[in-house]
Amino acid sequence: MTKQKEHNFENRNSLSSTIKNRDKGVNRHRVLILNRAIALLIIALGIGYMLSINDLSIKGFVLNDLKSQVRDLKKENSLIETQFAQLESNNAINSRAQQLAMVKVDKIDYITLVDGKVAKK
């Protein structure tokens, strides 16, 4: 009976070590899957980060170009306003009127209508 007990004990040890080895294999497989999933997640996040940084740098260049255009347009607007003020001044208008041979009117005559009609039928 001792041999049978030893045999049963060996079977139990063998069975328990088989289960442990199987569990270790399953655990290794799970760890391997988890490691791969984490690696893929890190790669995906890295790619997303690089794309967002690239997009931000492109938008920065566009923003600088737009600021430059605004600066140029403000300068141009200022020049146009200066030219407009010069052309609108009384001296400029008087000199242009003299070039066109216009004369200054001293007295203005107004027409008064009796019945308010401009033309007859």
Cβ-count burial of 10 within 10 angstroms (0-12 exposed, 13-18 middle, 19+ buried)? exposed
Mean pLDDT of 71-86: 95
Distance CA 47, CA 117 (A): 83
- Say whether pLDDT at 3 is over 80: no
Mean pLDDT of 84-113: 84
- Say whether pLDDT at 10 is over 70: no
pLDDT value of residue 39: 98
pLDDT band at 12 (very low <50, low <70, confident <90, very high): low
pLDDT value of residue 35: 96
Measured between its terminal Cα atoms, the distance across the chain in Å is 146
Domain range summary for the chain, segments of one domain joined by +: 2-99
Mean pLDDT of 90-102: 84
| Angle at 76 (CA atoms; ends 72, 81), nearest 5 degrees | 150
Cβ-count burial of 29 within 10 angstroms (0-12 exposed, 13-18 middle, 19+ buried)? exposed
- Say whether pLDDT at 118 is over 60: yes
**CA distances to 10, 15, 31 from 18, in Å:** 12, 5, 20
Q: 21-59 pLDDT, tens per residue?
A: 666 677 888 899 999 999 999 999 999 999 999 999 999
Query: What DSSP character marks residue 105?
Result: -
- Percent above pLDDT 90 for the chain: 43
